[in-house]
Amino acid sequence: MTKKRSRIFKTAWFKRFARKNNITNAVLKKAISDAEKGIIDADLGGGVIKQRIARSGQGKSGGYRTIILFKKEDKAFFMYGFAKNDLDNLSQNEVKEYKKAAKIYLSMTDEQINAVIAEGEFTEVK
């Protein structure tokens, strides 16, 4: 039996963040591949995880933190990213809001996702 791969998306905000910081789709796919294997930097609960990704040419420790809505072997949405030196952690309120979003986003059908992609709110990572 082969494992199903998650479809990976980035929000319009995250797409700009990734472009500005030279974060490639290959790097995003690696972060989700790690998560699929259970390698998760922080499980915030409710389908929200925090994954570290390396800066180009550097390691993960000085890199970026990403907030991802994640359901194993189903879907992953890159929602937010920040440099470690810009923000230490999310507030409890922010985590609560991401958990609310996870309930909605992770239950979306392919048709609903395709409609949101057509509106430009998400981009699928290929």
Q: What is the mean pLDDT of residues 20-34?
A: 94
- Cβ(71)–Cβ(6) below 8 Å: yes
Look at residue 90 in the predicted model and tell me its pLDDT. 84
* Whether the predicted pLDDT of 42 surpasses 80: yes
- Cβ(69)–Cβ(101) below 8 Å: yes
Answer CATH for 7-119 from 3.30.70, 3.30.2310, 1.25.40, 1.10.3470: 3.30.2310
Task: Indicate whether this model's pTM tops 0.85.
Answer: yes
3-state secondary structure the chain: CCCCCCEEEEEHHHHHHHHHCCCCHHHHHHHHHHHHCCCCCEEEECCEEEEEECCCCCCCCCCEEEEEEEECCCEEEEEEEEECCCCCCCCHHHHHHHHHHHHHHCCCCHHHHHHHHHCCCEEECC
* Whether the predicted pLDDT of 52 surpasses 70: yes
Report the distance separating Cα 95 and Cα 99, nearest Å: 6
- Cβ(117)–Cβ(105) below 8 Å: no
Look at residue 58 in the predicted model and tell me its pLDDT. 64
Q: What is the mean pLDDT of residues 22-50?
A: 95
Q: Rounded to the nearest 5°, which phi and psi values hold at 30?
A: -65, -40
Mean pLDDT of the chain: 90
| 76 beta partners | 8, 70
